[in-house]
């Protein structure tokens, strides 16, 4: 009984391997989720596997990212996804039903089960006591086909919460505090399990706010126990049959422990342009604010929006601020519409957006140039909002509401108002009519494929000799938003790799793709935590299409490293980090006997032809990853071993 909760769930799902930290484990996946921006690729890949029906207990396809429909592309993708789901046994959450993570928490997340999602914020469902992991679409496709998920077993960190949050302090401040202490790479190779007496003071939506931003720590996932508060939430969702109590054993052991005294926290805010640049709000109070965006898969719950409505009721927002509100789901939207809170928000001057990712991923609502935008979201990477010189700060709905009223960054404790207290509803409004069941007659369903949906590009087995130039050299913490941006212009091209590839690295070098194509491919050199952020496999698919053979970096973010391997790109690490300084953009590199060296040696030697010197890199691949790379990617490997 000495196990921690992570080990308990992993043990009950272990297919093969070892659960020791650092060991290779394969776990069975009960549920999958996809969203539209990663979903079309994931389903094209599932189709390529030739499996007639998904084999999971539950698979849901959400539409929430690509909702602007400024051209035919988004709408065509929606039709593809809807018909695909009907044919292959997948539930389809229609556009308008809400953001994947919020809806999944409300309607499907289940204590003790496993969830793999083609979105990095899948750990949101960890609030419900489930192991929920974000992955590339191809990994999710394999899981839908009944295959296990392979991972290097992370270390397990206990985050012991004690005390209770004070007025105007929110669960967002708990995770901002962790980001302040640990930074955006502090969670790489770790799972954060929350425990201690403070846990029971937090409702499920509050826990979800914390679990969701675990992705920003770089963590594999985040997990809460399943307790009376979980039951309370499931009852209110008319899902109490899904409840099971789950907690760590009395003498559970962890690789590390961190303590947070909830009483000691104060309202916090993350500076532009990284979620870990966290300071107390009072330190930046008084800066002019031009935009406030409340919503995203973080902080868009019923309780979040009710507290915003309570604060704004009877008041008007500052004339220099544009305030947008995005309800996280149809359930939230309908509840605040029915109880009148929506009227309070509209009357205060809020602009109400549809229930979708929206401003979080630059799908509209780009802020004014150089202006401060306060957002309740989870990412503030430079330019993600759609404005290249944006100044996006991340904070709780309390802070965001205070800023909307005052027009400057404001600590909500200085508003001189009674803090809102929103109880958990006894029953949420339940109407699943926008979730479509799969067809009982799959053979009668024809999949609709618009002209934007292009076949999946493929590549052959790994080359034995790699030669080319360093097409780009970048520094630390390059995000997938730098590698392949999203936003209103690029996101609609997610089903069209030849078209989207033209945007590869465009924020860093507008001619990158042209240069890569003209020179027949080459290498990219990066710093620490390369590929931080989203799970989009397009950030590996487009480089593959452009002919990138290997990335050489100081270290990698977990999901992006897997995506590189899945698409046959070598993720190499400097043996001696000083070599990073020695290598220049445009240097010509050559790696010989790649295949045989991979099989026999942990290291490869790179010959810098331009500088006439050699340096060593390691690949750190496990035997399965090596096979995948030798085959030229996971799809080739899976077909070969089928």
Could you say whether residue 360 binds ligand SF4 (CB under 6 A)? yes
Binding mask 545-574 for ligand MIC (x = CB under 6 A): ------------------------------
Strand 322-325 and strand 351-352: pairing? Answer: parallel
Hey, how many other C-beta atoms are within 10 angstroms of the C-beta on 465? Answer: 11
Could you say whether residue 579 binds ligand SF4 (CB under 6 A)? no
Query: Is the backbone of residue 84 left (phi > 0), alpha (psi -120 to 50) or beta?
Result: alpha
Could you say whether residue 104 binds ligand SF4 (CB under 6 A)? no
Say how far apart CA 622 and CA 150 lie, in whole Å.
Answer: 11
Under 8 Å CB-to-CB from 181, ≥6 apart: which residues?
Answer: 258
Catalytic positions are 64-65, 119, 379, 534, 536
Strand 24-27 and strand 31-35: pairing? Answer: unpaired
Q: If DSSP codes are grouped into helix, strand and coil, which group holds residue 291?
A: strand
For 129, the token pair is: 């006591």
Residue 635 site contact among ligand SF4, ligand MIC, none (CB < 5 to 8 Å, cut-off depends on kind): none
Q: Which is nearer to ligand MIC, 536 or 549 (CB)?
A: 536
Total binding residues for ligand SF4 by CB under 6 A? Answer: 11
Residue count (the chain): 642
Q: Which is nearer to ligand MIC, 531 or 533 (CB)?
A: 533
Q: Which of 76, 113, 119, 242 binds ligand SF4 (CB under 6 A)?
A: 119
DSSP letters spanning 395-461: --HHHHHHHHHHSB---GGGS-SPPP--PPPSS-----TTEEPPPS-GGGPPPP--TT-PPPP---S
Q: Which of 535, 555, 562, 636 binds ligand MIC (CB under 6 A)?
A: 535
Q: Which stretch binds ligand SF4 (CB under 6 A): 185-193, 355-363, 600-608, 612-620?
A: 355-363
Q: Which is nearer to ligand SF4, 329 or 495 (CB)?
A: 329
- Min. distance of Cβ 555 from ligand MIC in angstroms? 19
Q: Which of 175, 202, 361, 491 binds ligand SF4 (CB under 6 A)?
A: 361
Q: Which of 34, 38, 355, 638 binds ligand MIC (CB under 6 A)?
A: 38
- Min. distance of Cβ 436 from ligand SF4 in angstroms? 21
- Min. distance of Cβ 522 from ligand SF4 in angstroms? 31
Cβ atoms of residues 490 and 622 within 8 Å: no
Q: Which is nearer to ligand MIC, 37 or 604 (CB)?
A: 37
Q: Which stretch binds ligand MIC (CB under 6 A): 24-32, 114-122, 342-350, 609-617?
A: 114-122
- Min. distance of Cβ 65 from ligand MIC in angstroms? 6
* 254-313: contacts with ligand SF4 (CB under 6 A): 296-297
Q: Which is nearer to ligand SF4, 317 or 363 (CB)?
A: 363
Residue 365 site contact among ligand MIC, ligand SF4, none (CB < 5 to 8 Å, cut-off depends on kind): none
Could you say whether residue 211 binds ligand SF4 (CB under 6 A)? no
Cβ atoms of residues 298 and 198 within 8 Å: no
Q: Which is nearer to ligand SF4, 13 or 65 (CB)?
A: 65
Q: Which of 8, 13, 87, 121 binds ligand SF4 (CB under 6 A)?
A: 121
Surface-to-core class of residue 14, CB atoms within 10 Å of its CB (0-12 exposed, 13-18 middle, 19+ buried): middle
Q: Which of 4, 45, 120, 373 binds ligand MIC (CB under 6 A)?
A: 120
- Min. distance of Cβ 378 from ligand MIC in angstroms? 7
The residue assigned the tokens 């502090």 is 186
Binding mask 476-495 for ligand MIC (x = CB under 6 A): ----------x---------
- Min. distance of Cβ 361 from ligand SF4 in angstroms? 4
Q: How many CA atoms lie within 13 A of 403 on its CB side?
A: 34
Q: Which stretch binds ligand MIC (CB under 6 A): 157-165, 199-207, 342-350, 534-542?
A: 534-542
- Min. distance of Cβ 492 from ligand MIC in angstroms? 12
Residue 296 site contact among ligand SF4, ligand MIC, none (CB < 5 to 8 Å, cut-off depends on kind): ligand SF4
Could you say whether residue 304 binds ligand MIC (CB under 6 A)? no
Under 8 Å CB-to-CB from 345, ≥6 apart: which residues?
Answer: 305, 308, 309, 312, 325, 336, 352
DSSP collapsed to 3 states, 309-375: HHHHCCCCCCCCCEEEECCCEHHHHHHHHHCCHHHHHHHHCCEECCCCCHHHHCCCCCCCCCCEEEE
- CA 54 vs CA 123, 142, 238, 485, 637: distances in Å: 22, 10, 26, 31, 20
Q: Which is nearer to ligand SF4, 8 or 121 (CB)?
A: 121
Point out which residues pair with 469 in neighbouring strands: 522, 588
Could you say whether residue 177 binds ligand SF4 (CB under 6 A)? no
Q: Which of 142, 156, 335, 357 binds ligand SF4 (CB under 6 A)?
A: 357
Say how far apart CA 113 and CA 230 lie, in whole Å.
Answer: 14
Q: How many CA atoms lie within 13 A of 305 on its CB side?
A: 36
- CA 387 vs CA 65, 156, 217, 536: distances in Å: 18, 38, 25, 21
Q: Which is nearer to ligand SF4, 479 or 573 (CB)?
A: 479
Could you say whether residue 538 binds ligand SF4 (CB under 6 A)? no
Could you say whether residue 365 binds ligand SF4 (CB under 6 A)? no
Residue 38 site contact among ligand SF4, ligand MIC, none (CB < 5 to 8 Å, cut-off depends on kind): ligand MIC
Q: Which is nearer to ligand SF4, 296 or 555 (CB)?
A: 296
For 491, the token pair is: 């996101």
Could you say whether residue 375 binds ligand SF4 (CB under 6 A)? no
Using alpha carbons, select from 35, 122, 50 the residue that is nearest to residue 88.
50
* 51-110: contacts with ligand MIC (CB under 6 A): 65
DSSP at 167: T
Hey, how many other C-beta atoms are within 10 angstroms of the C-beta on 201? Answer: 15
Q: Which of 99, 130, 435, 570 binds ligand SF4 (CB under 6 A)?
A: 99
Q: If DSSP codes are grouped into helix, strand and coil, which group holds residue 294?
A: strand
Strand 613-618 and strand 570-574: pairing? Answer: antiparallel
Longest dimension (CA), the chain: 72
Could you say whether residue 119 binds ligand MIC (CB under 6 A)? yes
Q: Which is nearer to ligand SF4, 99 or 234 (CB)?
A: 99
Q: Which stretch binds ligand SF4 (CB under 6 A): 19-27, 278-286, 354-362, 494-502?
A: 354-362
Hey, how many other C-beta atoms are within 10 angstroms of the C-beta on 508? Answer: 13
Residues engaged in binding ligand MIC (CB under 6 A):
37-38, 65, 119-121, 361, 379, 486, 533-536
Residues engaged in binding ligand SF4 (CB under 6 A):
65, 99, 119, 121, 296-297, 357, 360-361, 377-378
């Amino acid at each position: 009984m000495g196990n921690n909760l992570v080990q308990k769930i992993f043990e009950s799902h272990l297919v093969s391997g070892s659960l020791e930290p650092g060991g290779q484990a394969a776990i069975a996946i009960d549920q999958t989720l996809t969203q539209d921006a990663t979903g079309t690729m994931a389903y094209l890949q599932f189709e390529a596997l030739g499996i007639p029906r998904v084999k999971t207990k539950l698979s849901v396809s959400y539409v929430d990212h690509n909702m602007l429909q400024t051209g035919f592309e988004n709408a065509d993708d929606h039709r593809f996804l809807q018909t695909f789901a009907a044919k292959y046994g997948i539930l389809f959450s229609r556009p308008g039903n809400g953001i994947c993570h919020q809806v999944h928490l409300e309607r499907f997340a289940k204590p003790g089960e496993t969830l793999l999602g083609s979105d990095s914020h899948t750990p949101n469902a960890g609030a419900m006591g489930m192991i929920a992991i974000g992955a590339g679409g191809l990994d999710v496709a394999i899981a839908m086909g009944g295959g296990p998920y392979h991972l290097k077993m992370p270390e397990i960190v206990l985050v012991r919460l004690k005390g209770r949050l004070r007025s105007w302090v929110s669960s967002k401040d708990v995770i901002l505090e962790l980001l302040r202490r640990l930074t955006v790479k502090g969670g790489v190779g770790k799972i954060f399990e929350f425990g201690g007496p403070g846990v029971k003071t937090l409702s499920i939506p509050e826990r979800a706010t914390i679990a969701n931003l675990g992705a920003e720590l770089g963590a594999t996932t985040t997990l809460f126990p399943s307790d009376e508060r979980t039951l309370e939430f499931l009852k209110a969702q008319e899902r109490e049959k899904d409840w099971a109590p789950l907690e760590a054993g009395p003498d559970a052991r962890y690789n590390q422990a961190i303590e947070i005294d909830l009483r000691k926290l104060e309202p916090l805010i993350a500076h532009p342009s990284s979620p870990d640049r966290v300071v107390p709000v009072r330190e930046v109070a008084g800066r002019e604010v031009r935009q406030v965006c409340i919503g995203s898969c973080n902080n868009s719950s019923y309780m979040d929006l009710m507290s915003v409505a309570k604060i704004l009721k009877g008041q008007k927002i500052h004339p220099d601020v544009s305030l947008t509100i995005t309800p996280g789901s149809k359930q939230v939207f309908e509840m605040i519409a029915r109880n009148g809170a929506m009227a309070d928000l509209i009357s205060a001057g809020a602009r109400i957006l549809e229930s979708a990712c929206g401003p979080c991923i630059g799908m509209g609502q780009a802020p004014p140039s150089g202006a401060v935008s306060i957002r309740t979201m989870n990412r503030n990477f430079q330019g993600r909002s759609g404005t290249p010189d944006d100044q996006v700060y991340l904070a709780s709905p309390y802070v965001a509401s205070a800023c909307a009223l005052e027009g400057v960054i404001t600590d909500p404790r200085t508003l001189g108002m009674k803090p809102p207290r929103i109880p958990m509803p006894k029953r949420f409004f339940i109407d699943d009519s926008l979730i479509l069941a799969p067809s009982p007659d799959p053979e009668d369903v024809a999949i609709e494929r618009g002209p934007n949906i292009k076949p999946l590009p493929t590549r052959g087995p790994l080359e034995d000799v790699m030669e080319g130039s360093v097409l780009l050299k970048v520094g630390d913490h390059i995000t997938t938003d730098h590698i392949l941006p999203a936003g209103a212009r690029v996101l609609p091209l997610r089903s069209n790799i030849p078209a989207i590839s033209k945007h590869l690295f465009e924020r860093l070098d507008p001619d990158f793709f042209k240069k890569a194509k003209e020179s027949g491919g080459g290498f990219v050199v990066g710093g620490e935590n390369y590929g931080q952020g989203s799970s989009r496999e397009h950030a590996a698919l487009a480089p593959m299409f452009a002919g990138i053979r290997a990335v050489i970096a100081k270290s990698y973010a977990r999901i992006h490293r897997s995506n590189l391997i899945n698409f046959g790109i070598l993720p190499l690490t400097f043996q001696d980090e000083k070599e990073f300084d020695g290598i220049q953009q445009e240097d010509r590199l050559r790696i010989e006997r790649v295949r045989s060296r991979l099989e026999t040696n942990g290291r490869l030697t790179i010959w810098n032809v331009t500088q006439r010197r050699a340096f060593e890199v390691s690949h750190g691949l496990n035997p399965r990853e090596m096979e995948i790379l030798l085959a030229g990617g996971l799809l080739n490997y899976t077909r070969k071993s089928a």
